Amino acid sequence: MIDRRQWIIGGIATGLLGRAAAAAARYDAVVAPAARRDVPAGRRFADLGTALAAAPRTGGYRLWLARGDWLGQHVVDVPGVALVGEDRQRTRIAFTAASGMIAPDGKHYGTYRTATLTVTAAGFTARNLTIANDFDGIAEMRKTGARLLSDDPAGPQAVALRLAEGSDAARLDAVDIHSHQDTFFPDAGRVTLSGCMVSGSYDFIFGAGSALFDQCEIRSRLRPDPQQMRGYIAAPSTLRAQPIGLVFDRCRLTRDPGVADGSVFLARPWRPSKKFADGQYGNPDAAGMAAFLDCWLDAHIAPAGWTEMWYTDRSGNPRHMLQPEDARFGEFGSRGPGAHAARRLAALSAAAAARIRRLATRSISG
């Protein structure tokens, strides 16, 4: 695993002390154009994919990534990989794929295969960079003819970062994660995000994993679609046996220009289908957990706060509605124009909020 002291020193060198100090740091791998000479010491690579492929299977691999657009789909499948970017906005790991687009194998990508970066190993860390799916959701929604539909399997779902089976104890510091629909998919293990930004418009933070968002910005993007005017921040599918799902602690819920007042819900409960002996239907063990603690909310947050989401029930009805009252949703200490006293669900007590914060801190980042 990564030595924590080395990780902090490397982060400070790249983020605060400028080029001279960064160049003095040493990394296992440095990804930069050949013409760049003002980079840290380390084995040089011309592209991110080759550098990740060189990571030792035993784990512990610190990689410095120069500013620029590093295009392609990448998988982190060895433990202890640390990515450190030169510039938070200009060091971009990016790809363009949506669920309804055709992949190189001739099939639809499907949501899970759209991810720009997929993590399947423990101890992944990233700092000072951007991970984006550059699919143009705005252009797709403005089409007047045939288009990818949000509620269709061949839709515009476009994942930027997916934490899949095998991922655990991940940490993101000062990382931007951008897309429109299904942006960030923490579906397994635990992850802490500190000082990050996640942007999107539709279920853009979703999955079954445990994620603590510590003082992050959660930005809702414009959705210019007359058939789909509503936005949704979170769609957790947390299993009942798992006490912590998506916890937003002291975050700022902001919006792009044009996002209407009262148009975005905090969360709705996702119940994904699973195969059982008697058929395939929404997993009854999925009872999503999401909590917003001491957050600042702009006026785009819907007064009701929470809403329902459909799933396929045991009889095969694909439009059975799972109500927020059947999930584990909570809010405490909200302030700002989007904070409302009368939500669909009652506010958490101070004791309940403290318990969630304590449990999330200990179980995820402790």
pLDDT(242) > 80: yes
Amino acid at 50: T
Q: How confident is the model at residue 5 (pLDDT cuts 50, 70, 90)?
A: very low
d(C-alpha 169, C-alpha 177), whole Å: 18
d(C-alpha 111, C-alpha 182), whole Å: 8
Q: Which residues are catalytic?
A: 182, 203
Q: How many CB atoms within 10 Å of residue 213?
A: 28
End-to-end CA, the chain: 16
- Here the tokens at position 352 are 């309940």
For residue 183, pLDDT beyond 80: yes
Task: Read off the DSSP letter of residue 8.
Answer: H
CA dist 81 → 48, 58, 189, 267 (Å): 13, 10, 16, 31
How confident is the model at residue 366, as a pLDDT?
Answer: 66
Confidence of residue 227 (pLDDT cuts 50, 70, 90): low
Query: In the chain, which residue ranges form alpha helices assigned H by DSSP?
Result: 4-15, 18-24, 48-53, 137-141, 350-360
Asked if the model's pLDDT at residue 14 lies above 80, the reply is no
Tokens 């001279």 locate to: 20
Structure tokens belonging to residue 67: 């500013």
* DSSP string across 284-332: TTB--EEEEES-EE-TTB-TT-B--EEE--TTS-TTEEEPGGGSEEEEE
Q: Residue 194: CB partners within 8 Å, gap ≥ 6?
A: 171, 172, 173, 174, 214, 215, 216
Residue with tokens 């910005």: 217
* Cα 323 to Cα 309: distance, rounded to the nearest angstrom: 7
Can you give the pLDDT at residue 143?
82
Query: Tokens 């009854």 — which residue?
Result: 284
Tell me the CA distances in angstroms from 282 to 151, 241, 292, 316, one per residue in order: 16, 16, 26, 9
CA dist., res. 75 & res. 198, Å (int): 20
| Antiparallel, parallel or unpaired: β 125-133 and 91-95 | parallel
Q: CA neighbours within 13 Å on the CB side: how many for 204?
A: 30
CATH of domain 61-365: 2.160.20.10
Provide the residue ranges of all domains of the chain, joining segments of one domain with +.
61-365
The per-residue DSSP string of 213-281 comes to: EES-EEEEPP---TT---EEEEEE--BTT-S--EEEES-EEEE-TTPPTT-EEEE-----EEEETTEEE
Residues 351-364 pLDDT 10s: 999 999 999 999 88
Q: What is the pLDDT of residue 190?
A: 98
What band does 187 get if pLDDT is binned at 50, 70 and 90? very high
| pLDDT tens, residue by residue, 66-120 | 999 999 999 999 999 999 999 999 999 999 999 999 999 999 999 999 999 999 9
233, 264 Cβ separation under 8 angstroms:
yes
> Do the Cβ atoms of 64 and 86 come closer than 8 Å?
yes
Q: What is the DSSP letter of 23?
A: H
- Give the pLDDT score at 150: 73
User: Considering the entire predicted model, what is its pTM?
Assistant: 0.92
